[in-house]
Structure 1
Amino acid sequence: MAFFSVIIPLYNKENHIQDTLRSVLNQSFQDFEVLIIEDCSTDNSRIKAESVISDKIIIIQHKENQGLSASRNTGILNANSDYLAFLDADDIWDEKYLAKIFELTQNFPKAHLFATNYVEVYSKKVTISPSTNLKKFDSDGIVPDFFESNLYQNIYCPSSLCVKKEVFEKIGGYDNTINYGEDVDFNIRANYLFKLAYSNSALVNNIMYSENKITNSSLKNKKITNFTYYEPLAKTNKSLKMYLDINRYMMALNYKRQNDLVNWKMLKNSIHKNPDISGLNNKQRILLELPTLVLQLISKIKLILLKLGIKISSF
């Protein structure tokens, strides 16, 4: 049995899947299997994946398109390993990524979640290192408070996370009904119960400009995390409460930009009025009230700056 099962959901990533697979096959740590979950792509994704020859690769074909969460769950059900490493079909691993994750599993046996830092790639020339709330974390270790560390920006991306299989046996898989921001819901459930071993080494390129990336997607007819469901847990966990409200804020802004005022108002009104409890600053509260056209203009300016390698945020 391989030490890692690498799970790659594949849907319409014909321009990226070959490079993604090569980054896996070029790992310095070679004890792994690769499960590609082909989710009925309408382009040449499967053909491109099949052109990368390796006896480590297994392609599992869905009979109908089921979405990202269902594809990950198919991978989980078919994985033969105890450690499941997730990789989006457009992201790239550094050759030392799995070696570092293996090291974390050996050095921190009480952990069930394992991850590394990453960089965001906005073009072939523009790469930005995320600015997170994880302080004084220069060496590998257990993250003391996942929710506090992720208030500003995620300390790991979906492609830099590895999960011990028994986590899914305890909390279940990804929620198949959520089709926008699927990882938020899973991160809450997983990190509330289990320890995260983390390396600040940036060993994953998170490609931000590819086809059907969430950053390019509309919220229309999409279902997001039910933040209210987790409020009972947040009553005794201050940082979780802030995490819920910060994510409400970000989703509310997205709804407002897309002129969905019903969902914008619902999420905005769910954010706690006390900034010491919600974690929202004055700038964020002002942004929530700006007209849709102004928010759309700000988004366009931010996109222009990103292409120049400049990232601004309200945090």
Structure 2
Amino acid sequence: MAFFSVIIPLYNKENHIEETLKSVLNQNFQDFEVIIVEDCSTDNSNLKAESIISEKIRIIQHEVNKGLSASRNTGIQNSNSDFLAFLDADDIWHKEFLEKIHQLIQEFPKAHLFATNYVEVYSKKVAVSPSSNLNNFIKDDIILDFFESNLYQNIYCPSSLCVKKELFEKIGGYNTKINYGEDIDFNIRANSTFKLAYSNTVLVYNIMYAENKITNSGLKNKTITDFDFYEPLSVSDKSLKKYLDINRYMMASNYKKENDLVNWQKLKKGIHKNPEISGLNLKQRILLELPPFVLQLISKLKLAFLKKGKRFSSFN
């Protein structure tokens, strides 16, 4: 049995899947299997994946397109390892990624989640660090308060996360009803119960310019996390309440940019009016009230600067 199962959902990533797979096969730590879940791509993704010859690779073909969450669940169900590392089919691992995750597993045996830092890649020459709320975290350690640490951007991306398999047996798999921001729902369930061992070392390249990027497709006809469902849990967890409200804010802003004022208003109502409880700063509360065309303009300007390697954030 391999130490790691590397799970790669694949849907219309023909321009990236080969490089992604090569980054896995070139790992320093070689005790792993690779499970590609091909979700009925309409391009040449499957052919590109099959062109990479390795006895480590298995390709599982969905009969119908089921989406990202279902593809991850298929990978989980077909894995043969105790530790499952997830990798999107357009992202890249540094050769030391699995080696570092293995080190975290050995050093922090009580943890069930293991992750490293990452950078967002906007072109072949431009990579930008996420806006982090991890103050003074300079070594490998247990994250004491996951939700407080993730009030800015997430400290890990889906491709920099490894999960002990038994976690899924206790909290269930990814929610297949959610097809936008499904990782938020998983993060709440997983990090409310289990410990996260984390390394601030950047070992994953999150490719932002890839085709068919879900987060670039808009919210129309999408299902997001039901934040109200987790509200009772936040009564005794102030950090979770802030995490719920900051994600409500981000989703509400996206709805407003798309002129969906019904869903904007619905999410806005769930944000606590007291900024000490919601965690929203003055800048964010102002942005939430701006008209759609202004938010659209701000988004375009932010993206233009990101492509030049400069980040402007409402978090600070």
Superposed, 1:45-56 pairs within 5 Å as 45-56=45-56
Moved more, 298-307 or 150-159: 298-307
Is the 1:208–1:215 contact (alpha carbons within 8 Å) kept by the matching residues of 2? no
What SS does structure 1 have at the residue aligned with 2:37? strand
- In the TM superposition, residue 214 of structure 1 has moved relative to its aligned partner by 2.7
Is the 2:180–2:215 contact (alpha carbons within 8 Å) kept by the matching residues of 1? no
Is the 2:115–2:197 contact (alpha carbons within 8 Å) kept by the matching residues of 1? yes
Q: Which residue of 1 aligns with 2:27?
A: 27
- In the TM superposition, residue 215 of structure 1 has moved relative to its aligned partner by 3.1
Q: Which residue of 2 aligns with 1:220?
A: 220
- In the TM superposition, residue 217 of structure 1 has moved relative to its aligned partner by 1.1
Give the length in aligned residue pairs. 315
* TM-score normalised according to structure 2 size: 0.99
Is the 1:21–1:52 contact (alpha carbons within 8 Å) kept by the matching residues of 2? yes
- In the TM superposition, residue 56 of structure 1 has moved relative to its aligned partner by 0.2
- In the TM superposition, residue 17 of structure 1 has moved relative to its aligned partner by 0.1
Correspondence 1:144 to 2:138: no
Distance across 2 between alignment mates of 1:292 and 1:136? 37
Q: Which residue of 1 aligns with 2:266?
A: 266
Distance across 2 between alignment mates of 1:215 and 1:169? 28
Which deviations, in whole Å up to 9, do the C-alpha atoms of 1:145-194 show, x marking residues without a partner?
A: 00000001100000000000000000000000000001000000000000
Is the 2:121–2:209 contact (alpha carbons within 8 Å) kept by the matching residues of 1? yes
Is the 1:70–1:176 contact (alpha carbons within 8 Å) kept by the matching residues of 2? yes
Computed over aligned residues only, the root mean square deviation of the Cα atoms, in angstroms, reads 0.6
Q: Which residue of 1 aligns with 2:164?
A: 164
What SS does structure 2 have at the residue aligned with 1:43? coil
Which deviations, in whole Å up to 9, do the C-alpha atoms of 1:115-168 show, x marking residues without a partner?
A: 000011011111011121112211101001000000011000000000000000
Distance across 2 between alignment mates of 1:131 and 1:153? 5
Structure 2 counterpart of 1:121, one-letter code: V
Is the 1:67–1:176 contact (alpha carbons within 8 Å) kept by the matching residues of 2? yes
Which deviations, in whole Å up to 9, do the C-alpha atoms of 1:218-268 show, x marking residues without a partner?
A: 100000000000011100000000000000000000000011110000001
Distance across 1 between alignment mates of 2:158 and 2:30? 21
Distance across 1 between alignment mates of 2:140 and 2:289? 41
What SS does structure 2 have at the residue aligned with 1:198? strand
Superposed, 1:102-117 pairs within 5 Å as 102-117=102-117
- In the TM superposition, residue 269 of structure 1 has moved relative to its aligned partner by 1.1
Structure 1 counterpart of 2:8, one-letter code: I
Structure 1 counterpart of 2:109, one-letter code: P
Is the 2:131–2:313 contact (alpha carbons within 8 Å) kept by the matching residues of 1? no
Superposed, 1:1-315 pairs within 5 Å as 1-315=1-315
What SS does structure 2 have at the residue aligned with 1:263? helix
Structure 1 counterpart of 2:101, one-letter code: I
Distance across 1 between alignment mates of 2:307 and 2:133? 24
Distance across 1 between alignment mates of 2:47 and 2:3? 28
What SS does structure 1 have at the residue aligned with 2:242? helix
- In the TM superposition, residue 303 of structure 1 has moved relative to its aligned partner by 1.3
Distance across 1 between alignment mates of 2:148 and 2:135? 10
What SS does structure 1 have at the residue aligned with 2:84? strand
Is the 1:257–1:295 contact (alpha carbons within 8 Å) kept by the matching residues of 2? yes
Is the 1:141–1:199 contact (alpha carbons within 8 Å) kept by the matching residues of 2? yes
Distance across 2 between alignment mates of 1:31 and 1:23? 14
Distance across 2 between alignment mates of 1:288 and 1:134? 25
What SS does structure 1 have at the residue aligned with 2:130? coil
* TM-score normalised according to structure 1 size: 0.99
What SS does structure 2 have at the residue aligned with 1:37? strand
Is the 1:8–1:88 contact (alpha carbons within 8 Å) kept by the matching residues of 2? yes
Distance across 2 between alignment mates of 1:24 and 1:309? 27
What SS does structure 1 have at the residue aligned with 2:225? coil
Distance across 1 between alignment mates of 2:193 and 2:115? 16
- In the TM superposition, residue 88 of structure 1 has moved relative to its aligned partner by 0.1
What SS does structure 1 have at the residue aligned with 2:168? helix
Runs of 4+ residues over 3 Å off in structure 1: none
Structure 1 counterpart of 2:37, one-letter code: I
Distance across 2 between alignment mates of 1:215 and 1:307? 16
Q: Any gaps of 5 or more consecutive residues in structure 1?
A: none
Distance across 1 between alignment mates of 2:311 and 2:139? 26
Distance across 1 between alignment mates of 2:249 and 2:49? 38
Structure 2 counterpart of 1:25, one-letter code: L
